[in-house]
Each structure stands twice: as C-alpha cells, then as structure tokens.
C-alpha cells in the first residue's frame, strides 16, 4: 500500500511539474487518406512514444515470468482504451505531460527495479498507456476509418514492444544483463530531460517521415 501511494504521488507530481511541455503531431502529405498507414506511423511520431513502447518490452523481460505477456498486453489494451475515450469525447487531462512523465516512470522502473507487486506495476503501466493511447489514437483526420487507424497504431506499438523484448532477451544472455537494464533506464531518464528542455528533438522522426 505504501509503495502504491508513493508511485501515485510521484506520477502525479511529474504530470504537474511537466505542465509547460507541449508537442504537436501531424501526418505527412503522402499518408493522406491512408488511415492504416497513418495509424502505423503514430507510435513513431515522437521519440517519447517510441522510447516508452520499446522500454515496455524491456521491462517485460526484466520482470520475467507472466510479466512477459501481461505487461505488453496491458499496455496495448489501455492504449486502445485511452484512444476510445478520446474519440468518444472523454478528454484525458494533461496528456502531453503524462506522456513525458511516463518516460520518467518507466525509465526509473528499469533503472531501479523497485520491489513492487505485479498488480501495482501493471496499474502504473496501464496509466502510462492510457495517456499514449489518448494522444495517438485521437490524432486522426476527419475522413478516417477508426478500425484501420487503431489497428495500425496498435500493430506498430506492438512491434516496438516486441523489439524491446527481443533486445531484453539478448541483454539477459550477457554477463552484464542487470547492468544493461540500469543503463537503459538511465538513458530513458536522460532522454526525458532532453525532450523537456529541447522539445524539437521529440519531433525529429515526424520531420524525417515528411
């Protein structure tokens, strides 16, 4: 219970502290009228989305056991739930701040590997996923197909998570596997700081896709 309260307070503090953060997302001209392709592109629109999806895969392998499937499964389901809330007119407050806060939280979980229950870990991951889903699945143009767009978005996010899991499995085969997880988590925390102080860095992939 104490661990849950601490995590909730920390996540809430980060969301409020990152209030000045803002970002944008749009689709390249060649993606017009291609909802599935637009959906595929969404998880790679921002470095924050990419980093979190890959790190979720890393976290799943770090925790091991049932977490290898529970963590990416919960992340994907709550991403969809966040998107459904957005398109249904249910606004998720502080979305951009929550996304950047999720980079910090997931990075800290990788770096520190706190002794928390699987249920609590899934709750935190689910909250992070809801922010990402609200931002990603709610960014479609008016003449879209929700099903195609959402499937593309979830498929792309799953591929990123699978890449993270594969990377994690490779790391575990090395003698310094535990240290590599800490380095990955630390890199996430540094990336969050860079994105916060230099927001254009987050949009480098968008500009490349154009």
Q: What is the DSSP string of 74-109?
A: HHHHHHHHHHHHHHTT---TTHHHHHHHHHHHHHHH
Give the residue, 100 or 29, on which the prediction is more confident. 100
Q: Is 62 part of a structural domain of the chain? A: yes
Q: State residue 7's pLDDT score.
A: 47
Q: How far apart, in whole angstroms, are the C-alpha atoms of residue 12 and residue 115?
A: 20
Confidence of residue 204 (pLDDT cuts 50, 70, 90): confident
* Residue 172 within any structural domain of the chain: yes
What's residue 192's pLDDT? 92
In a domain, 3, yes or no: no
**Mean pLDDT for the stretch of residues 187-206:** 87
Residue 22 confidence (pLDDT): 44
Which domain, by its residues, includes 90?
44-209
Average pLDDT over residues 97-116: 90
Label residue 19 by pLDDT band (50, 70, 90): very low
Q: Are 54 and 160 in contact (CB under 8 A)?
A: yes
Residue-wise pLDDT for 124-178, tens only, equals 999 999 999 988 886 555 556 778 888 999 999 999 999 999 999 999 999 898 8
As a whole number of angstroms, the distance between CA 206 and CA 49 comes to: 12
Number of domains in the chain: 1
Q: Does 29 map to a domain?
A: no
Cβ contact 98:15 at 8 Å: yes
**pLDDT > 60? residue 118:** yes
- pLDDT at position 9 is 52
- Residue for token digits 């992939």? 205
**Residue bearing the bigger pLDDT, 85 or 25:** 85
Whether 39 is covered by a domain: the verdict is no
37-95 pLDDT per residue, tens: 888 888 888 899 999 999 999 999 999 888 999 999 999 999 999 988 888 888 778 88
Query: What is the structure's pLDDT at 142?
Result: 55
**Which tens digit of pLDDT belongs to each residue from 153-168?**
999 999 999 999 999 9
In a domain, 97, yes or no: yes
Q: Is residue 7 in a domain? A: no
Q: Considering the domain boundaries, does residue 179 fall inside one?
A: yes
Specify the pLDDT at position 16.
44
């Amino acid at each position: 219970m104490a661990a849950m309260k601490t995590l909730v307070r920390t996540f809430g503090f980060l969301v409020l502290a990152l209030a000045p953060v803002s970002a944008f997302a749009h689709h390249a001209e060649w993606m017009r009228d291609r909802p599935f392709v637009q959906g595929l592109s969404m998880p790679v629109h921002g470095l924050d989305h990419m980093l979190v999806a890959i790190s979720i895969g890393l976290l799943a392998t770090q925790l091991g056991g049932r977490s290898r499937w529970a963590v990416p499964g919960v992340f994907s389901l709550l991403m969809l739930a966040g998107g459904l809330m957005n398109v249904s007119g249910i606004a998720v407050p502080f979305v951009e701040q929550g996304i950047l806060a999720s980079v910090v939280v997931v990075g800290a979980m990788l770096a520190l590997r706190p002794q928390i229950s699987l249920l609590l870990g899934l709750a935190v991951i689910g909250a992070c996923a809801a922010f990402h889903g609200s931002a990603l699945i709610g960014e479609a143009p008016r003449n879209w197909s929700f099903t195609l767009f959402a499937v593309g978005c979830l498929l792309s996010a799953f591929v990123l998570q699978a890449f993270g899991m594969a990377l994690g499995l490779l790391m575990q085969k090395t003698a310094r596997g535990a240290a590599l997880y800490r380095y990955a988590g630390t890199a996430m925390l540094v990336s969050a700081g860079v994105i916060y102080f230099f927001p254009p860095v987050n949009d480098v992939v968008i500009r490349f896709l154009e």
